[in-house]
């Protein structure tokens, strides 16, 4: 899979992808990550990407032309591509959406800044508008990292299939609780069933715990199967 992230702050992406699982996926060539400076697609001497809003009001708005030119340049016509614009106005990102992006061979992610991006980019360039939650960040770079991280770990071969099949949201529930050594710490004991070696009982206990945790922390997941959590 090829991912292109279009931003005015390409340096922000240096460290998050230079460690651990994402780093290994890049090294193995399971994903090709292309961080693109939006200013490459400006033509004036100040490399301007923003301008004052029509109609007045605070702040600056990101101009449409650099985004359109960037997408035209980056889109590989032989790949199945989706153009994602990050915006608080978008559909809220979740695990189902992350999985749905696996159907594409190229994802172009557009990061906004300032007051946001010219509406024509929303209406005529983006295939999908995505928010990472109901709050406002200063830019689309952190959301782009969230999307990229969530997606890369789902790419076959990046981590073991068992890990992504059993984790939270994979089956509409939160994952069961985990414990490791020591078996007893400051009077807090690991549930005896996990020490029993009885795999059937352990599996049944984990199923029950997943349900209990979901009821306790995220009852909405059980109420609304259309929430985008179930696969
Ligand atoms: N004026 C906009 C509004 O009220 O909706 C907020 C613009 S925000 C300060 C600047 C940029 O950050 C947005 O264009 C978007 O790319 C990004 N951004 C901020 N919050 C986001 C969120 N929750 N999800 C995705 N992108 C977000």
Co-location of 6 and 92 in the same domain? yes
For 69, counting Cβ atoms within 10 Å of its Cβ (0-12 exposed, 13-18 middle, 19+ buried), the class is middle
Q: Whose CA is nearest to atom 21 of ligand 1?
A: 88
Q: Is 116 touching ligand 1 by the criterion CB < 6 Å? A: yes
Indicate whether 228 belongs to any domain: no
Q: Whose CA is nearest to atom 12 of ligand 1?
A: 139
Query: pLDDT 10s digit of each residue in the chain, 231 long?
Result: 999 999 999 999 999 999 999 999 999 999 999 999 999 999 999 999 999 999 999 999 999 999 999 999 999 999 999 999 999 999 999 999 999 999 999 999 999 999 999 999 999 999 999 999 999 999 999 999 999 999 999 999 999 888 887 788 888 899 999 999 999 999 999 999 999 999 999 999 999 999 999 999 999 999 865 444 444
Q: Which of 61, 95, 74, 53 is nearest to 4 (CA)?
A: 74
Q: What is the reported pTM?
A: 0.94
Co-location of 137 and 193 in the same domain? no
Q: Is 57 touching ligand 1 by the criterion CB < 6 Å? A: no
Please list the residues that pair with 7 across neighbouring strands: 37
Domain count, the chain: 2
Domain range for 213 is 166-223
Indicate whether 16 belongs to any domain: yes
Can you tell me the distance from the alpha carbon of 153 to that of 48, in angstroms, rounded to the nearest whole number?
Answer: 35
Co-location of 140 and 189 in the same domain? no
Q: What is the CATH number of the domain that holds 196?
A: 1.10.1270.20
Co-location of 136 and 199 in the same domain? no
Co-location of 87 and 193 in the same domain? no
Indicate whether 31 belongs to any domain: yes
Using left for φ > 0, alpha for ψ between -120 and 50, and beta otherwise, residue 29 falls in left
Co-location of 31 and 98 in the same domain? yes
Co-location of 138 and 212 in the same domain? no
Co-location of 140 and 203 in the same domain? no
Co-location of 145 and 172 in the same domain? no
Can you tell me the distance from the alpha carbon of 202 to that of 139, in angstroms, rounded to the nearest whole number?
Answer: 44
Q: Whose CA is nearest to atom 27 of ligand 1?
A: 87
């Amino acid at each position: 899979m090829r991912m292109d992230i279009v931003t005015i702050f390409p340096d922000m992406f240096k460290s998050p992808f230079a460690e651990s699982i994402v780093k290994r996926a890049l090294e193995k060539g399971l994903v090709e990550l292309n961080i693109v400076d939006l200013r490459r697609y400006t033509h004036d001497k100040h490399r301007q990407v923003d301008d004052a809003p029509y109609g007045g009001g605070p702040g600056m708005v990101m101009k449409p032309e650099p985004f359109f030119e960037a997408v035209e340049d980056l889109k590989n016509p032989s790949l199945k591509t989706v153009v994602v614009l990050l915006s608080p106005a978008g559909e809220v990102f979740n695990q189902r959406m992350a999985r749905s992006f696996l159907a594409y061979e190229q994802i172009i992610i557009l990061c906004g800044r300032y007051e946001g991006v010219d509406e024509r980019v929303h209406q005529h360039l983006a295939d999908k508008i995505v928010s990472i939650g109901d709050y406002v960040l200063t830019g689309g770079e952190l959301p782009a990292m969230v999307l990229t991280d969530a997606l890369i770990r789902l790419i076959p071969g990046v981590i073991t299939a068992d890990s992504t099949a059993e984790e939270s949201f994979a089956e509409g529930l939160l994952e069961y609780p985990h414990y490791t050594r020591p078996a007893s710490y400051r009077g807090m004991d690991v549930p005896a069933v996990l020490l029993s070696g009885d795999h059937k009982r352990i599996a049944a206990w984990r199923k029950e715990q997943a349900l209990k945790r979901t009821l306790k922390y995220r009852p909405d997941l059980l109420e609304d199967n259309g929430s985008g959590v179930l696969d």
